[in-house]
A and B are shown apart, each in its own frame.
Chain A
């Protein structure tokens, strides 16, 4: 079996500016933050980011790496509004494609199933139609004749996700209550990089959790990165909860100061700076 393990910086070195990049997790929950930090260390920019947005979007927006964002929301959950995202959006730092949460889900499913679109009962009457003039509709060929929004496939060049466990060949396992959409991100992207709290032997996976926790299958995975505490400061249940104190620091510190304090070195430097700060 091919060994797909690699350091975070190598995973990021396979990405390039201008790519469409999907980021897993949800809000401030199980975000692949170590991979995002590696991305911030690289010179990669001009990205189209597809994400149920949290601090991943906030950081990339603050650092000026996003050309276009596709999302339904950006939030830190316990802090409803993401301050760095807000500031970037209010200064017009990037283009925004704003769609409904369910439209986003069906866009991922369409991409994962190699369909050009899927019909969704959402959008009509709302300004999602006004701010997305490219959205098309589709009418049922059956007696009901209802018209739906044809949500286009959210196909991506690469996906970044973080899970609790993985083996060396890319079988990924979530151990918390919610898988979010990480398997769909991997299936909807041409390449996918999975970071995990711990790499274990394949035989160990079903001892960690039942088979239905093995949601990410290796055929959708390009690289596996071992990154303990790699979702920090977002939550990664049951391994750890959100670091609320540090998230507050992130949300209340001016970006240049936060960047200088935590993001100039490698991941180890980040993790020790976090330990010192808290």
Chain B
């Protein structure tokens, strides 16, 4: 078996977001988080609930086990037993996230999706982020429009939690005294300098930066043969 690719380290880093969550709904947005959630479900997080991306709760092999149309999904958020991994067009030092527009909201330079469910997600259940191309355009000092709420604006909201941010370069969390972003681990082959160069704000970097853990042989087999045999993961992370 060949060694893990960068995309495979990203899958592992995303999967780890759901470790220890128990019987909650994993809502991955994007390709690599979806592969990660299914991998977690097949290995160390068997209690997770998954959807087919539409209106069904499904087991990893696609067998339906429940019904979850959008109206129920939106209501489920308020119950809190959910951990979503969203994308971000911009994310800042305290985890504020933007998917709405670039530039001034009144006269946007680039209209994007809109706030979608980010404001409710971040106040109600665990919200992690996945960023396939780590750059200064995404990791910015201040986001143009706050959709997902960061630690400096959450004002102690009782259910607000951002467990992790995963990019193609590493894993980040907010385990610092002021809840600003910290480098938690580097993917194999990535340096601290690379991360600093690609980040548009001051990042906390511990003296010893751990490496993102290696996938086990069984995990690699599951990714390559069961969850993503077509290799679509390489389309999202090319390195």
| Chain A residues proximal to chain B, CB less than 8 Å | 26, 53, 71-75, 80-81, 85-86, 89-90, 92, 98-103, 105, 120-128, 130-131, 146, 176-181, 184
Contacts and interface: CB of A to CB of B under 8 A. Distances in A.
Contact of B123 (A122, A127, A130, A184): A122
B70 A126 contact: no
Nearest to A177: B55
B185 interface: no
A120 B113 contact: no
* Most chain B C-beta atoms within 10 Å of own C-beta, residue among A26, A121, A125, A177: A125
Nearest to B113: A73
B70 A125 contact: no
B124 A121 contact: yes
Chain B contact residues: over half helix, strand or loop, or mixed? loop
Contact of A86 (B74, B111, B148, B149): B111
A125 B154 contact: yes
A26 B111 contact: no
A160 B109 CA distance: 32
Interface in B141-187: 145-150, 153-155, 157-160
* Most chain B C-beta atoms within 10 Å of own C-beta, residue among A102, A146, A181: A102
Interface stretch (B15-23, B114-122, B199-207, B231-239): B114-122
A126 B119 contact: yes
Contacts of B108: 89-90
Given A103-B119, A179-B71, A126 B147 contact: yes
B56 interface: yes
B4 interface: no
A180 B69 contact: yes
Contacts of A71: 114
A193 B238 CA distance: 48
B110 A90 contact: yes
A103 B116 CA distance: 10
16 contacts: A71-B114, A90-B111, A92-B107, A101-B120, A102-B75, A103-B120, A122-B119, A122-B120, A125-B149, A126-B118, A126-B119, A126-B153, A127-B105, A128-B147, A177-B55, A178-B69
Contact of A85 (B111, B145, B158): B111
B128 interface: no
Interface residues of B, number: 44
Nearest to B151: A125
Contact of B117 (A74, A86, A98, A101): A101
A131 B54 contact: no
B72 to A, nearest CB: 9
A180 B110 CA distance: 28
A73 B115 contact: yes
A172 to B, nearest CB: 16
Interface string B83-110: 0000000000000000011000101111
B25 interface: no
Contacts of B192: none
A131 B149 CA distance: 15
Contacts of B112: 81
B78 interface: yes
Contact of A126 (B54, B56, B122, B124): B122
Contact of A124 (B70, B113, B147, B149): B149
A146 B123 CA distance: 13
A121 B78 contact: yes
Given A103-B119, A120-B120, A131-B105, A126 B111 contact: no
B126 to A, nearest CB: 15
Contacts of A73: 113-116
* Most chain A C-beta atoms within 10 Å of own C-beta, residue among B115, B147, B158: B115
Contacts of B71: 105, 179-181, 184
A102 B78 contact: yes
Contacts of A101: 74, 116-117, 120
Contact of A125 (B78, B101, B111, B157): B157
B115 A128 contact: yes
B26 interface: no
Given A86-B111, A90-B111, A131-B105, A126 B117 contact: no
Interface string B70-82: 1100110110000
B124 A122 contact: yes
Contacts of B77: 102
Contacts of B116: 72-73, 100-101
Nearest to A26: B70
A67 to B, nearest CB: 16
Nearest to B117: A101
Given A73-B113, A81-B113, A98-B114, A123 B69 contact: no
B117 A181 contact: no
